[in-house]
Amino acid sequence: MDNYREVEILPVKAVGASGTETLDIAIDEPVTALYVFFRAVNGAVTAPNVPPALSIDKIEIVDGGKVYYSLNGPEAIATAVYDNNRWPSHFYSEVADNGQYEVIPLLFGRYLGDEEFMFSAAKLLNPQLKITWTRNALHAATPYTLGVRVKAMQGVTPGSKCLMVKNVRTFNSAATGVEITDLPVDYDIRRMYIRVYGVMQYWAEALTHLKLDCDVGRLIMFDMDQQRFLDTIRETFPTTEHQLVAAGVSSVWKESWLGNIMGCAVNSGTAGYIASGWSANAGRWQPWLTTDAGVAVDNQPLQTRVWGYLPHYTLAYQFGRKDDPASWFRASRFGQVRLELTQGEADHAFSIFLQRVTPLP
């Protein structure tokens, strides 16, 4: 490879409060990554727990009637964290009238510059990127801001396969019972993701056991409770962290967008106040802000750093060695691959999405 070329396929611009932007991906060189920039402005009151990605309903890469990539904003952020071992570029703020943004990377290989797995748009008939968003009530009615750029590889022969992530099922949990999902078996699977989200609820109360069964007991990939599954994640992936300017009410729980917090650090943005934060290692944290006399103060800016596991309450399972395609899950060897999720609490939003080796025509 000679070098990278940064190409803006959509220069940053104001877009409507809700809508869909459709872009042709007219890039001759192979693309190793694509980046979606999305910015929101908070309304006239404090805007807790509404980072910009929550407003993105869907990011898709399509070619005619074939869908290659399809995730919503939180799912896309979660996969980016697992791919890059870090939270993507962002600035989160809950302060009234403040702007906040995030960059969502779509990685088409095992790493930047992967010369075996890449997105070669020239091999498709009419590849398009579609981004759909809906305004959050806590964001200002003024337009959102959207931009898209790609990192193209110079001096690389276009390849015939890439890594794509696609949602295969979304459902709401029941209070009890086993929810069964038959996974597609057409392509090799590198990584499986399960997002378990309930507003201000702990993910492990809704998902108590996980099992992956191939051909009715011919091969059991895993069969374990949620805490043992969390152990596998913590053994495989590093912690991640993000920063925000919080504006919370003392002693009131806030979302962290991490399903397993390991810690948080809080500094007051206003002189003369004493700030601290606390978490019980679940997915929420609690700010405290007082005067020197111990009087609670609310809705002041708090510079906050939160770190832990499970970005956007998303579990991941890595099949084989992350950079060795020969060790990934050959789902096509089986007639049926069944994911069995035991539920323990109702009304959590579940989504299942897979990162697979995807051939290009």
Residue 26 lies in a domain: yes
CATH number at residue 142: 2.60.120.730
The phi and psi torsions of 234 (rounded to 5 degrees) equal: -70, -20
Rounded Cα distance, 141 and 18, in Å? 10
- pLDDT tens for 171-187 read 999 999 999 999 999 99
Residue 222 lies in a domain: no
Q: Which domain holds residue 25?
A: 3-163
Residue 300 lies in a domain: no
Rounded Cα distance, 308 and 177, in Å? 29
Q: To 5 degrees, how large is the angle CA 49–CA 313–CA 225? A: 150
pTM, whole model, 2 decimals?
A: 0.96
User: Which tokens is 303 given?
Assistant: 């510079």
Residue 225 lies in a domain: no
Residue 228 lies in a domain: no
Residue 58 lies in a domain: yes
Who contacts 352 (Cβ-Cβ below 8 Å, separation ≥6)? Answer: 167, 168, 169, 170, 181, 183, 192, 193, 194, 195, 339
Rounded Cα distance, 252 and 288, in Å? 9
Work out whether the CA dihedral 136, 283, 313, 151 comes out positive or negative: positive
pLDDT string in tens for the chain (361-residue length): 789 999 999 999 999 999 999 999 999 999 999 999 999 999 999 999 999 999 999 999 999 999 999 999 999 999 999 999 999 999 999 999 999 999 999 999 999 999 999 999 999 999 999 999 999 999 999 889 999 999 999 999 999 999 999 999 999 999 999 999 999 999 999 999 999 999 989 999 999 999 999 999 999 999 999 999 999 999 999 999 999 999 978 888 999 999 999 999 999 988 889 999 999 889 999 999 999 888 998 889 999 999 999 999 999 999 999 999 999 999 999 999 999 999 999 999 999 999 999 999 9
- Count of domains for the chain: 1
Residue 198 lies in a domain: no
Residue 16 lies in a domain: yes
**CA distances (Å), origin 341, targets 22, 113, 130, 211, 252:** 35, 36, 31, 7, 31
